[in-house]
Amino acid sequence: MADQAVARLAGINVGAPAHFAPSADFGLIGLAVMGQNLILNVADHGFTVCAFNRTTAKVDRFLENEAKGKSIVGAHSIKEFCAKLKRPRRIMLLVMAGKPVDDFIESLLPFLEKGDIIIDGGNSHYPDSNRRTQYLTSKGISFVGSGVSGGEEGARYGPSLMPGGNEDAWPHIKDIFQSISAKSDGEACCDWVGDEGAGHYVKMVHNGIEYGDMQLICEAYDILKRGLGLSSKEIGDVFAKWNTGVLDSFLIEITRDILYYNDNDGTPLVDKILDKAGQKGTGKWTAINALDLGMPVTLIGEAVFSRCLSALKDERGRASTILSGPTPKFEGDKQAFVDDLEQALYASKIISYAQGFMLIQNAAKEYKWKLNKPSIALMWRGGCIIRSVFLKDITNAYRNNPDLENLLFDDFFNKAINNAQNGWRNVISKTALWGIPAPAFSTALSFYDGYRSKNLPANLLQAQRDYFGAHTFRIKPENASETFPEGKDIHVNWTGRGGDVSASTYIA
């Protein structure tokens, strides 16, 4: 029997009779905006849904209003909720990540049977989904950790869904998930991602890429505003045009709308908003994981740090009166520069996605996951925040070559980034001369130049590490000799005063 405290927390009426014939195809716990909209979406696709919320009065309000007349039933206890579900029970949790998910799992277990399925659709951290998959497997229950993207509108009319966990659950939830998900060119923006916490991992990387996309757009806005002196309306016109070409995407579209939106006094509302960004942590998780895996996901990292810098609003105010720099002054063909900026944004976005897929591929090796790479790009083509026209090209790249080492090696993206280079470099050089910060643009180009460099100055870095810490180095194969053999960890007594004992040879 469930612990009494957990039972009370979950709204369980312990000991309540279960005289309910199973009638519901799907159950959902959590009636906040996302939960309500997802239930309505499932019901619209011909499935009967059972709704439960810890505050049971919310169930009644939902049934009497938004759910009225639809194939939706309610429950006032976990026992009643489980009794109303057909086998295997398909239960989705849309509750706050962390302890509430574990508490609801514990409250459900006494009323479940082997083969039943629990789906966590919240923004859980993937290590928690790894743990829950293993724990529930030992109980005979299938666990699915699913990324859900698209906000409340996506939940209602078609989100991007990224399920992972116990693969034996997929045949039982596939019909519902692919029915309710967004569609792109007739294909569902939902497919099985991979093992254990892979679904939530891919959602985490999605959110990290979202951070990068948003930062790049903000930098482009700043360059147009401060560098070219354009008004919000004029910048909105630029984004409107960009949204008809290679940058066609949800985030470009909403940026256009934001820039066109005026306050009651007729002035742009965006100009009045405090320049102090918030974050919920998923971008930070991506950056931390990239560091843990030793992967150079630099653009997402810069996007996170840019939000942190924006939070220093008062300090930046003081610095603006003390620290000097150039005043932007544009000379030349504005339209030509806007075209260059479009290419710079496109190239930087390609780098962001290339880095994101590098991280995903490396995680699959590290965690021994079987990941469905072509389907990941497909899942992001519709319903989610980073949906854009060029995700179709990413899908094609991985369908053409599922073992593609890097997105930049694909012919389409190789050609695209080569064509964008002149404009990309021109824009970044101008921002440096104008004193306009462009950390995401700059790090994207720096990564590109570093990635295409056969030789980097890390040879000197290794020599430094060996000099002060005896951390050793390896010799280039073409320079190998009897003194410095290939493939061996070598320590040199650089000054003649040190010893010959080397330290560890740890690698980032």
Q: Is 207 one of the annotated binding-site residues?
A: yes
Q: What is the DSSP string of 294-362?
A: T---HHHHHHHHHHHHHT-HHHHHHHTTT---PPP---S-HHHHHHHHHHHHHHHHHHHHHHHHHHHHH
Q: Residue 166: which H helix or E strand, with range?
A: none
Rg of the chain, C-alpha, whole Å? 26
Q: Is 294 one of the annotated binding-site residues?
A: no
Tokens of 246: 């290679």
Residue 187 catalytic? no
* CB 396 within 8 Å of CB 219: no
Q: How many CB atoms lie within 10 A of CB 71?
A: 16
Q: Is 349 one of the annotated binding-site residues?
A: no
Tokens of 302: 């810069």
Q: Is 35 one of the annotated binding-site residues?
A: yes
Q: Residue 193: which H helix or E strand, with range?
A: none
* CB 212 within 8 Å of CB 345: no
To the nearest 10 degrees (0 to 180), the angle between helices 198-222 and 334-367 is 160
For residue 72, the cross-strand partners are 49
Q: Is 427 one of the annotated binding-site residues?
A: no
Q: Is 465 one of the annotated binding-site residues?
A: yes
Q: Is 280 one of the annotated binding-site residues?
A: yes
Catalytic residue among 210, 219, 302, 342: 210
Q: Is 123 one of the annotated binding-site residues?
A: yes
Q: Is 55 one of the annotated binding-site residues?
A: yes
Q: Is 97 one of the annotated binding-site residues?
A: yes
Q: Is 30 one of the annotated binding-site residues?
A: yes
User: In sequence order, which residues have a C-beta less than 8 Å from that of residue 100 and are 6 or more positions away?
Assistant: none
Q: Is 471 one of the annotated binding-site residues?
A: yes
Q: Is 172 one of the annotated binding-site residues?
A: no
Residue 368 catalytic? no
Residue with tokens 């000991």: 15
Q: Name the residue type at position 422.
A: N
Catalytic residue among 58, 79, 84, 203: 203
Q: Is 149 one of the annotated binding-site residues?
A: yes
- Scanning 380-438, the segments in alpha helix (DSSP H) are 391-400, 411-434
Q: Is 8 one of the annotated binding-site residues?
A: no
Q: Is 423 one of the annotated binding-site residues?
A: no
Q: Is 446 one of the annotated binding-site residues?
A: no
Alpha-carbon distance of 330 to 348, in angstroms, equals: 23
Backbone angles phi, psi at 289, to 5 degrees: -65, -40
Alpha-carbon distance of 94 to 86, in angstroms, equals: 20
- Scanning 139-281, the segments in alpha helix (DSSP H) are 151-157, 170-180, 198-222, 232-242, 250-260
Of 66, 118, 126, 62, which Cα lies nearest the Cα of 94? 118
Alpha-carbon distance of 144 to 105, in angstroms, equals: 12
Q: Is 508 one of the annotated binding-site residues?
A: no
Q: Is 45 one of the annotated binding-site residues?
A: no
Annotated binding site: 30-35, 53-55, 95-97, 123, 149-151, 206-207, 211, 280, 307, 465, 471
Annotated binding site for NADP(+): 30-35, 53-55, 95-97, 123
Annotated binding site for substrate: 123, 149-151, 206-207, 211, 280, 307, 465, 471
Positions annotated as catalytic residues are: 203, 210
